[in-house]
Structure 1
Amino acid sequence: MRPAASPADAGAAAAETVLRLAVLLQAGVAPAAAWGHLSDTGDPAAARIAAASHDGMPLPDAIAAAGPAPGRPARRSGAAAEGPERVWADVAAAWRVATGVGAPLAETLRAVASALRDAQEAADDVRVALAEPAGTARLMGWLPLVAVGLGAALGFDTFGVLFAQPFGIACLVAGAALILAAQRWNAALVRRARAEGGVPGIGAELLAIALSGGVSIERATAIVSAAGAPADASTDLVLSLSRTAGVPAVELLRASAALSRHRARIEGRLRAARLSSRLLLPLGVCTLPAFLLLGVAPMMLSVMSTMPLSF
């Protein structure tokens, strides 16, 4: 049995599952039976979907609830969900749109799998770019504690000063507070630099699926909105261009979705590049002062306490 995918790999795992499902559907397997076959291969998401469907839950709702780990409630709103929840909410929205307009489900799932794979590759690029600055920040966070051990190794009474003298205790408390602040500050910077959940451009992708079923633009927009898909401001411009130029909107929407995923990749790389300089702020404001308080100040106090007083 395959292990469950981590949140970082949720897009890749979902893309693999959805692509296999599309192949089964294209071969003529019924949707419920296809999920059952995938469940038999040890796919954890497919197992949850098949079990929920067997219990009477509609397939789109079962797909939307496939993301959370067992025992954790699912959030049904695609805009509010994150990580695996958001990925499977997007798949469920595509399923609702395709079945609502009568679009070929297998082709729809192939397009969704391709979008998931592109989004996951972009997220992987960001994770790789973030690995070096985030690792450097974690390493520098140990610097004040290394200073304490270094002072003791050099023969200074560092621990005696920090735990026995009033000024040393004050240095210990202030240094520990600065270390904690630096860790939280670094974590917040790294978290903001990570890629957002979900698939960029999924709104335009779903609208293209809806229009491929032959419905009007107004009907397609209503179906996509009812499916719980996240809003995409670029779709209005694309639809306006389609009307003005007199060209089909489907390919324009798919190109817009691909461009959104490309922009997300570039913006993620830029956030990772800016992170390297932003991590210098907690280093200078918190980590280095903590180094002075926990390392340099106790050594100086230890030396001063051993010097004979002269009158």
Structure 2
Amino acid sequence: MILDCAVIGGGPAGLNASLVLGRAKLQTIVFDDNQARNNVTHASHGFITRDGIDPAAFKQAGLTDLAKYPNVEVKHQRIKTISRAKDVFLLETENNESFYSKRIVLATGLKDIMPAIHSITSFYGTSIFSCPFCDGWEMRDKRLVVLAEDERAFHMAKMVFNWSQDLIVCTNGKQVVSGEQKQILTKHGIDVIEQSISEMSGEDGYLRIIHFTNGGEIDRDGGIVMTGLQQASPLAEQLGCTLDHNGGVESDEFGRTAIPGVYAAGDMKLTGPSQLIMAASEGSKVAAAIVRDIVEEGFSK
């Protein structure tokens, strides 16, 4: 059987795309290796009717929705390679199974690259986060830190200040905040500490102290870290999709990439904040575009 569409990735973008494709009567398989970026997160926020939901519960609810549609199948396998095979795509899994599909939705997401700070991963997802819109409410009015090693430090400090005015910026030895920016932050009581961090300490995932290489330390309850981002899967590059200067997959507003028949959805496009509701919306929009493209193609023959 040749699929109408193969969806690579079982996050909110991939699940929502699959739902819309399924309801449009398209033969669809979702390939999901369960390596979601938010696996470390205890609760997801900002999605109306689902605020505070456990990411695993959100995913299970999505899979339950898809189970209503006999033309949608979920396979918990990683796709190793995708290649052109005449007018369709050949997908090969890590279990050496092969599938053919007319169209591909890439919803493989991103991977966080943490600063090289000892023990920071012990706190990520419990008291250290990457998105103030997702987790700022839970950190409101606490003693917070913005950890950033690049020019994003200034912007994020201003953003996090909305949730707590007890705030410092740590650049871990990097000089990425200009003199003018420091003056603006100092005016609002935000100190910039450029000393390198030796480690972070606390208990059960909750940050308590940031230790610096010069022997200094400061008490903090949590904060926001500016992570590096890279594609979680090499499939986009493998297919020949164009990446922008930030490493995001380029596409038009409906997810169409430079490769005909290949669409990109969700965080992997790096076009906005990494939020559950936005990724799901992206998946829906891309799937609707696929249906429109199929319909137009049918009527043009």
Normalised by the size of structure 1, how large is the TM-score? 0.20
When Rg is computed on C-alpha atoms for both structures, the one with the higher figure is: 1
Normalised by the size of structure 2, how large is the TM-score? 0.21
Higher share of residues assigned helix:
1
Higher share of residues assigned strand:
2
